[in-house]
């Protein structure tokens, strides 16, 4: 971590964190801004929404902000091309220069799950080693909706270098995942990553597609991003233990 002692001290990953949050919408990008101590810099999280609106993911974004992340969501019905996330990262870095650290977490759901991974690859290409990155997608619908400007989604996924994590819904009749996105569909995204890519795929038993799995996403996103963006060793241990300790996860 290094840049915010108050945030580095957090160890409760499955509840709201200690920071109060101000939600603000100055333009197309909605922000959830944590009130961290003066001088603290925090990671920036962008959530690419599915076919719904940013408001559908407000619980997720609120939780991330209470845990000390500058959370953002670009209001767009079609987020799969990844450009919204880049615009949101630019907005966060420009509007909150004293708060936004050079650590970017790209999140998405449904069509926005693909958008999250495309945003991640675009960010890597844009900022290179000046930033730290990680990705997380809930029931990513790879290949559905708006597509990358350059190359197929498979080609883009194969270029990702930063760690990524994806969640599939499970335990529904006919093994159709969350009822809309099958586990096999999520696995297509996993299989498209480079063989050298650090990628995780977990099934969340009982996860629904609509309403989106905000609670499940919150519980896993906090330790995941604390591990990958802040180098939190305790969060790493917690994340890796979740499938063994909680029957929700396989």
pLDDT per residue as tens digits for the range 171-207: 655 455 677 898 999 999 999 999 999 999 999 988 8
pTM, two decimal places: 0.96
Q: In whole angstroms, what separates CA 187 from the centre of its chain?
A: 18
pLDDT value for 51: 77
pLDDT at 193: 98
CB burial of 92-129 (b: ≥16 within 10 Å; e: otherwise) equals: bbebbeebbbebbbbbbbbbbbbbbbbbbbbbbeebee
The pLDDT value given to residue 1: 44
Chain CA centroid to CA 8, Å: 20
Q: What is the pLDDT of residue 124?
A: 98
Which ranges of the chain have pLDDT less than 70?
1-2, 171-177
Decide: helix, strand or coil at residue 218.
Answer: helix
């Amino acid at each position: 971590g290094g840049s915010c002692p108050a945030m580095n001290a957090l160890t409760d990953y499955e509840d709201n964190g200690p920071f109060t949050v101000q939600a603000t919408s100055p333009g197309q990008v909605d922000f959830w801004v944590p009130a961290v101590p003066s001088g603290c810099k925090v990671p920036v999280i962008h959530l690419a929404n599915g076919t719904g609106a940013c408001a559908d993911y407000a619980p997720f974004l609120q939780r991330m902000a209470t845990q000390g992340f500058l959370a953002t969501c670009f209001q767009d019905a079609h987020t799969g091309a990844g450009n919204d996330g880049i615009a949101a990262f630019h907005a966060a870095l420009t509007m909150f220069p004293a708060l936004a650290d050079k650590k970017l977490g790209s999140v998405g759901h449904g069509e926005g799950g693909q958008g999250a991974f495309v945003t991640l690859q675009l960010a890597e290409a844009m900022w290179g080693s000046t930033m730290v990155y990680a990705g997380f997608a809930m029931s990513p619908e790879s290949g559905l909706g708006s597509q990358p400007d350059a190359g197929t989604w498979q080609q883009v996924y194969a270029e990702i270098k930063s760690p990524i994590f994806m969640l599939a819904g499970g335990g529904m009749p006919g093994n159709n995942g969350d009822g809309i996105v099958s586990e096999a569909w999520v696995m297509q995204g996993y299989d498209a990553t480079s063989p050298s890519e650090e990628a995780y795929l977990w099934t969340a038993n009982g996860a629904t597609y609509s309403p989106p799995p905000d609670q499940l996403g919150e519980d896993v996103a906090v330790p995941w991003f604390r591990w990958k963006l802040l180098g939190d060793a305790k969060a790493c241990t917690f994340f890796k233990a979740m499938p063994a300790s909680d029957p929700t996860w396989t």
